[in-house]
Amino acid sequence: MAIVEQGINHLMYKIIQAVMYLRSLLFQFATKEKQHEAGNISYLNAAERKQSINHKVEWLLEEYGNSILRMAYSYLHSITDAEDVLQDTLIQYIKAAPKFENSVHEKAWLLRVAINISKNKITYNKKRGTMELDEGLVAVEEHDLYFVWEAVKSLPSKYSEVLHLFYQEGYSTAQIANIVARKEATVRSFLHRGREKLKVILKEEYHFEE
């Protein structure tokens, strides 16, 4: 199941702008971070720390930027809001400076943070009455994918999030359970129910046949 790649790719240049803003925010942490070597605490100078942060942000974007953006977009259906989530997720990462056993755990942590930020933004947007869908951004040439995406959007978030993580990100049900903080049996149930609900919507609303 594919997320609308075309719309995302057309707006990737905006991420570069967001990164520049992100770097300016992160610079405030440059003189606060400490480097521990041989039991002695030493401070990196501001220039070195800024360079280190820049390299880390660039690496995070290259490795996980698209996944975070797609995850946020699956909740918010707005590229602008998804970019905000991406930016906030990276800021939290730099501030928390978490340590991971491997890249799988690192990506899972980032997606979990992105999910939480997205849910908070949904609540905020609903309170402000600004939950809008920019149809111009979700339009794609592949009409079938458009209909599928429209159907996925109509599902409750508990179904749409596991469908996204399973089909788009390629996570196992066990990994998804860790990301969304649910039992694996519950994730499997949501996947099954989500697929069934999706089939019904596609058949009734868009006349798709199995």
Q: Which domain holds residue 31?
A: 1-139
Q: What's the pLDDT at 19?
A: 53
One domain for residues 38 and 112: yes
Task: Answer whether residue 53 shows pLDDT above 60.
Answer: yes
Q: What's the pLDDT at 109?
A: 92
For 86-123, what is each residue's pLDDT tens digit?
988 988 888 888 888 888 889 999 999 999 999 888 87
One domain for residues 61 and 151: no
Strand partners, 41: 36
- Where is pLDDT greater, at 134 or 196? 196
One domain for residues 27 and 82: yes
For 62-85, what is each residue's pLDDT tens digit?
899 889 988 888 888 888 888 889
Domain CATH number, residue 196 = 1.10.10.10
Structural domain total, the chain: 2
Examine the fold and report which residue of 139, 156, 175 is the final residue of a domain before the chain moves on: 139
One domain for residues 149 and 58: no
Is 128 exposed, middle or buried (CB count within 10 Å of its CB: 0-12, 13-18, 19+)?
Answer: exposed
Would you say the pTM of this structure is higher than 0.85? no
One domain for residues 98 and 180: no
One domain for residues 88 and 158: no
Mean pLDDT over the full length of the chain? 71
Q: Is 39 left (phi over 0), alpha (psi -120 to 50) or beta?
A: left
Is the C-alpha dihedral spanning 187, 188, 191, 193 positive or negative? negative
Task: Answer whether residue 41 shows pLDDT above 60.
Answer: no
Examine the fold and report which residue of 113, 139, 165 is the final residue of a domain before the chain moves on: 139
Q: What's the pLDDT at 35?
A: 47
Examine the fold and report which residue of 139, 161, 192 is the final residue of a domain before the chain moves on: 139
Backbone φ and ψ for 4, nearest 5 degrees, come out as: -70, 95
Residue-by-residue DSSP string for 114-138: HHHHHHHHHHHHHHHT-----HHHH
Mean pLDDT of 138-160: 66
